[in-house]
Each structure stands twice: as structure tokens, then as C-alpha cells.
Amino acid sequence: MLELNDPSLLKQAALVNGEWLAPGADAIQVINPADGSVVGKVPACGASETSAAIAAAKAAWPEWRARTAHERAVLVERWHALVIENLADLARIMTAEQGKPLAEAEGEIRYAASFIKWFAEEGRRVGGRNVASPERDRRILVMVEPVGVAAAITPWNFPAAMITRKCAPALAAGCPVVIKPSEFTPFCALALAELALRAGIPAGLIHVLTGMPHEIGETITSSPDVRKVSFTGSTRVGSLLMRQCADTIKRLSLELGGNAPLIVFEDADLDIAVKSAMASKFRNAGQTCVCANRIFVHAAVEQEFLARLGAQVSALNAAPGFAPGSTIGPLINQAAVDKVAAHLADALDKGGRVVAEGQGREDGQFVRPVIVAGATSKMRLASEETFGPLAPVFRFESEDEAIAMANDTPFGLASYFYTRDLARAFRVAERLEAGMVALNTGSMAMEMAPFGGIKQSGLGREGGTQGIEEYLETKAFHIGGLEL
């Protein structure tokens, strides 16, 4: 049994219009990936619950949009305060359902809370423009208005941050939200929604539909009352949602798959490069869309880089997220474990060599981190997202070669590179095909910076000043016949 300071935060229910719907005979079990135990059960919502949530959101919208940005921001800020107050419980819920080490889960709750605070503040700064008029008796105002009912379809790898990165800007902008969290990790979403209600956000404004994605997703995408869909997940599902949203011409934000390159040039500060590679590759056991999926190292520093990275990887410890000293939690399910094993076997078959391995468990859904040197473009790990703790190292000889290899992918989410040469820094940053480029750092996820990709990595941006614009429409207001 999960021990919480406030056990009422573990909601075994779906949330529609302020009512907690109990699970029925077809309940979905949420499994702890560390030991296969049942964390709890949630209802298998379908079309009727989804339609009820959309209808309640639509009904609640006029009153919410009529409030001032300041009034909305006060409630969103209260939500932020409650999330921080309940950080310990939220993190424990996350570790139980998602598996990540408790310290990392606490970090994610802080990260999730940062979006709530940021967008409460950004909501106050939403404003339009006054455009120079071509006529003396006319004025033109560019006004911005909330888009309407928004749907947030969120993944299991960041069960709290992906909820707040979508819902906080929606609410602050004046939109109700219908959330469909991953069926693997609904409890963080439900706890966050409970805290939003406790903060005073009206019941019609936030709904959580638990269950399998198919029916809920189809009801959301086909509804003319849902004006915006924001999705984080795979490119395959993103493209399906895009097709499903076409008939009702919805606004879409898609944060999809990546295949991030991390390039270490010969003049790099290797301490920074190694620290960054560790942070980027092994965060959340390698289960992030911005994880370094391919590490390119200049031949002149390859041996030194491998030795230093190897020393750090050997200290990683695959263990249950609640165990002291755990740095790599279990993967989310058996399919994830199988994919890493298949990528490793394929790489070894095609000439790759294991040069370092972490410690800890290798049973169940635990996978020890591993570095494979001698990686080539023929290996599956070069073109597919591994989404696990396998770090392949490719060798290169020139800047042009590194950039060509880095861009040789249909994805364009994150990329990382390491150099001390200023001219090279600009050359490479401008040539890398990605929505986010990091120089001499391994982190790029923060509330004040726009997050998102190009090519098949998606559409739109979350976070930053751009994140709230995804929930706003532009209206041109022409005022003629003015006797000035």
C-alpha cells in the first residue's frame, strides 16, 4: 500500500464535471513497473464520459473566459502553491506508477509546478496590438481570445509535467481542459486535478478521462466543441490524431518523437560533455523524447570520452525508485525492455562493442545502462528512438560529417553539441535541424524556454511566451466611421 501524508490524493476514479466516477467491472489496473504490484484501479471511460466532460467544459467556458486574467491567475497560482505543498505525496504517487527514482520524481514535480507558476504570470501579460490604420476614421485592434475547450492527451514518461505544461496555459488563457492521461500513469493527473479543484478552479474547467486511448481519442477529435488538441507522444499517434482532427479543423500542438544527436567536437570541454551526456541520456532511464539517442564523438577525443563516460555509467544503479541509491528505475513495460534488448543485439551483431555497463538489477523491467562503441548508421539504434538506457557512440572526423550524420533523420526535436570555438558554435547551431539546440549543456527543459520540434517531431511550442499562444485566437477588430 502506498503511504501518503494525504491518502485522499490517490484518486481511484475519473473526474467529470467535479464528480469522481468510480471504476466498474471493466476497471483498468495501474501496475507498479518495479514489482508488478497493483497501485490502484481507474474506470475505463468511453464515449459517454468523454462527451459529458466536453459538454460540461463547453458550458463552463463563458463564465471562465469572462473573468479577468488577474482573477484566473490568482486561482492558477493557488494551484501552484498546493502542488508545492503536496510535493512529497505527488512524487511518491509518480514513483509508484511510473517507476522513476524518488529524487527524480520530486524534481519532476518541481518542474511541473514551474509551468503552473509561469503560465499564471504569462496569463496576466496576454494582450493584443493596435495596428496603424490606412484610413483616418478607422482604427484596427488585434485582440486575442481563448480558443475554447482544449484537450490534453499526455504520455507516461512525465506524468505530471506534461499535464501542467498543457493545462496551466489553457486555464490561464481562459480555456477549459479535458485531460486524457496515459493509461499507465493516471494517478498523477488525478491528484493534480484534485489540487486544482481545491485551489478553487471551477469543476467544469478540468476533467480527467481515464481509460484506453482509442474511444476517448476518437470522441475528442471528432467533437466540434473541442477547439484545440495538445498531444505529447509518438509520431505515429500524432499523425493519426492530425488526420482525425482534420474534419473539424482543430488547432493542434504535437510534441512527438525525437532522435537527438549529441556531438562532441575535438575542442570540447570533456568534463562538460560527459556530464551533459549523462544528464541527457540517462534522465528517466533514457525514456524522454529529448534524450541523446546518438552520441557522435570526434576521433581525436573518442577514447578519452569513452573512458570518462564509462566511469560514470559504471556507477549508475538500476533499482526500484523507492530504494536508496536508485539512479535508474524500471522501464515502463515489457515492450520497452524488449526494444532496448533488440537494439543492443542488433548493434552487437553489426560490429558494436559494449565498453561499459551500470550496476544493479537486470530482471523484470530493469535494464542496466550500457555504452556501445563502434555504432554505425546501419544499426537500428541510428534511425529508431531506443527510449532506454543504451548509449551508442559513433565516431566522426569532420564538422561537415558530424552535421550530416546528426541531420540524417526525419526527426528534429533536440540536439546537443560541445565546442569552445565561437564561430563553430554559430555554424553548427544554425545548421542543426532541430527545434531546440543546446551548446555546452545537457538540459533544455525549463518553463521560460519554448519546447518543441520541427520535421516529424511536431508542431507548435510549449513553455516560454509561445506556450500560451497555443490556446489563444487572434481577432482583428476594425472600427470605422470614427469622427476624430
Contact positions vs ligand SIN (CB under 6 A): 155, 157-158, 161, 232, 288-290, 445
Q: Nearer to ligand SIN by C-beta: 262 or 289?
A: 289
Q: How far is the CB of 293 from ligand SIN (least distance, A)?
A: 12
Nearest partner of 201 among 220, 177, 183, judged by Cα: 177
Q: For 337, list phi and psi in degrees, rounded to 5.
A: -65, -45
Radius of gyration in angstroms for the set of CA atoms belonging to the chain, rounded to a whole number: 23
Q: How many CB atoms lie within 10 A of CB 430?
A: 8
393 and 372 in contact (C-beta within 8 Å)? yes
Residue spans of beta strands (DSSP E) within 188-265: 206-208, 226-232, 251-255, 260-264
Residue 277 to residue 416: CA distance in whole angstroms: 9
Smallest separation (angstroms) from ligand SIN to the CB of 290: 5
255 part of the active site = yes
Which DSSP state fits 288?
S
CA atoms within a 13 Å half-sphere pointing along the CA-CB vector of 276: 26
Residue with cell 519554448: 450
Catalytic residue among 167, 245, 289, 291: 289
CA 306, 312, 315, 321 dihedral sign is negative
CA–CA separation, 360 and 352 (whole Å): 23
Residue facing ligand SIN at closest CB distance = 445
Number of helices followed by number of strands (H, E) in the chain: 15, 24
Question: Residue 291 catalytic?
Answer: no
Strand, helix or coil for residue 176: coil
Nearer to ligand SIN, 330 or 453 (CB): 453
Q: Which residues on adjacent β-strands are paired with residue 232?
A: 255
Sign of CA dihedral 464, 470, 471, 475: positive
Nearer to ligand SIN, 348 or 454 (CB): 454
Helices (H), 380-421: 380-383, 399-407
Residue 232 φ then ψ, to 5°: -120, 125
**Residues labelled as active-site residues:** 255, 289
